[in-house]
Amino acid sequence: MSDPISVIVPARNEAQTIARVVRVLRDMAGIAEVVVIDNASTDATAAEAAGAGAQVVTEMRPGMGHAVRTGIGAARHDWVMKVDADLDKFDTALFSRMAEARRPGVGLIKGAWNDPKDNMPMTRLLVRPALARMFPGLGHLRAPNTGIYLFDKSRIAHGELVGDYAVDLDVMLRVHAAGAEVAEVDIGRIVHDARDVSHYNGMAEQILAFFLSRQPLDLLGEVVVVAERPETVIRTALGHAARKLIAGGRVTFALGEGADVSLLSEAVAPFPTARIVALDDLSGVAPATHTARLTVIAEEGAALTAARSCATRHAKALPVALWRIPGEGARLGDISVDIADGEAVKRAALHRLDGSDEVAPREVFRVEGADA
């Protein structure tokens, strides 16, 4: 695969070395641009980077995640390589291994390195055990939290990435939840400067908080919403669907023939893991490779019939739950879900639909079948 690559380099007070880093990156084969994110520097980082030929963008909020998110947004190409500003420690010729590992179905390639002075306590004691419990499909990675990687940004809602040190994990989990493969290549041996315990303590707090925040979002649980009209989806199920999409999960909307999907399409446009299909095409919809469970949500009538067929078909391979959208006049449901961040997406769609700004913080559904 020879698609061009944008490199992003988060940099805070790196005026002494950033020009050399930029020149090294610009000389690498396949690199189409270098984007340096000046992350609230108080020195001449921005001027040095620009003078060496980088595109420079400014992110005044301190934090690796804020810088990465801004850099990804500024990158002109879908394939983005994220590297650290201490590039002098690496044999950069080995970075080409990441580009060479691209193939159909792969969405991210981690650059695994080894340091004889670093026994990788964060990886051994926190990241790998957490992934083994929550995302076993990533258990093959030796260095899952490396900050050097190449990925296809078109697969994820990169504007929703976290703002701290957990951002590299967030990128990986979103690519994984989207159904793409996460690969890993060896980029060699390096020697980092010694780090004290406080460095790891701060990172561990942020990474643990990130994993805990992802646990209730069920990233590998896929959702299918089935209705004749998109207006029904917007009024009854868009909050739950949007919450899933914001976190990086996959949601499919299956709608009746001839329905005007423009409002719904606009609402979910920022989320690459959303798809809208015709109700008649629901039989051809398949969950992603890494999907752990499936929830099918449907309104009464023909949509429910199609949803039951979908649930039955996939129950052979996955735990499946079928939720019914309560009919008009219904007051209670068997399950009430907090729509959280999805509330803003639903409110905006409702306002465009009928001028309404009233959004309940929860959506309710009738549970037709327990998990298979």
Q: Are residues 329 and 236 in the same domain?
A: yes
**Mean of pLDDT over the chain:** 91
Shared domain for 161 and 25, answered yes or no, is yes
Q: Tokens 């947004």 sit at which residue?
A: 73
Pair 76, 41 in one domain:
yes
Hunting for tokens 């129950």 — which residue is that? 315
pLDDT of residue 188: 81
81 and 42 assigned to the same domain: yes
Q: What is the pLDDT of residues 310-336, one digit of tens each?
A: 999 999 999 999 999 987 655 567 899
Q: Are 203 and 288 in the same domain?
A: no
Kindly report the CATH number assigned to the domain that includes residue 283: 3.40.50.10320
Say yes or no: 80 and 21 in one domain. Answer: yes
Instruction: Indicate whether 60 and 95 sit together in one domain.
Output: yes
Q: How far apart (Å, rounded) are the C-alpha atoms in residues 81 and 94?
A: 13
Contact indicator for 34, 60 with CB cutoff of 8 Å: no
Q: For the whole model, what pTM was predicted?
A: 0.93
Pairing of strands 149-152, 181-189: unpaired
- CATH number, domain with residue 128: 3.90.550.10
Query: What is the residue whose two structure tokens read 């979908």?
Result: 310
Q: How far is CA 220 from the centre of its chain?
A: 12
Angle between helix 342-354 and helix 238-247 axes, rounded to 10 deg: 140
Residue ranges for the chain with pLDDT beneath 50: 370-372
pLDDT tens digit sequence for 249-297: 999 999 998 889 999 999 999 999 999 999 999 999 999 989 999 999 9
